[in-house]
Amino acid sequence: MTALRCNVADLLHHQAARRPVHLETDGTDFGAVGGTRLDADPLVIDVVIERVPDGVVVRGTVQGVMTADCSRCLRPITRSFTWNVNELFESHPLEGQTYQLEGEEIDLELPIRDTVLLGLPLMPLCTTDCAGVCPQCGIDRNETTCSCNNNPTDARWDALSALTFDD
């Protein structure tokens, strides 16, 4: 039994019944994608659980704080996020699309975990136009202009830009 398990018996017996649910849990339990992970700040889940013909729908938001190192300049990033949750729990779930209604209970852990893993950026950036670290001299180009700035692109990528692709 996890902290995010909810009994929905009251909803199952009334068509179109709905109930708001507010939960908080430790963000660090939710793993990491690459170097991006959730902060120890609580992960706050605000959803409405609603009875539908096939089971219950969970709609709302999950809010938290992520930390990472910028994938270009390696500076630490701390950023809050709000992601939407909109998931169906049913007795006979479709693999990868809906979640298991277990008798009169649902476990929000799996959909929240999926939402977090999909939401965390694979290549976090401190700013969208982060200039990154010079691949030649290692200087942080956000702070200073490096002596090799005449050729800011990494020569190792030249072969890639010369490639052409047929349809």
Q: Phi, psi at residue 141, to the nearest 5°?
A: -75, -5
In the complex, the smallest distance separating the C-beta of residue 142 from Zn ion, rounded to whole angstroms, is 6
Residues written for the chain: 167
In the complex, the smallest distance separating the C-beta of residue 146 from Zn ion, rounded to whole angstroms, is 15
Contact between 64 and 42 under an 8 Å Cβ cutoff? The reply is yes
Which of residues 28 and 145 has its CB atom nearest to Zn ion in the complex?
145
In the complex, the smallest distance separating the C-beta of residue 74 from Zn ion, rounded to whole angstroms, is 7
Residue 126 found at the interface with Zn ion (CB under 5 A): yes
Stretch that binds Zn ion, among 1-9, 21-29, 70-78, 158-166 (CB under 5 A): 70-78
Counting residues that bind Zn ion (by CB under 5 A) gives 5
Which of residues 8 and 70 has its CB atom nearest to Zn ion in the complex?
70
Residue 108 found at the interface with Zn ion (CB under 5 A): no
Which of residues 11 and 70 has its CB atom nearest to Zn ion in the complex?
70
Contact between 134 and 144 under an 8 Å Cβ cutoff? The reply is no
Among 11, 47, 72, 107, binds Zn ion (CB under 5 A): 72
Dihedral (C-alpha) 83, 84, 86, 87: value to the nearest 10 degrees? Answer: 10
Contact between 31 and 136 under an 8 Å Cβ cutoff? The reply is no
- Euclidean distance between CA atoms 147 and 89, whole angstroms: 58
Amino acid sitting at position 38: L
Among 6, 33, 49, 70, binds Zn ion (CB under 5 A): 70
Residue 160, SS3 per DSSP: helix
Considering only residues 9 to 48 of the shown chain, the ones binding Zn ion according to CB under 5 A are none
Q: Which residues bind Zn ion (CB under 5 A)?
A: 70, 72-73, 126, 130
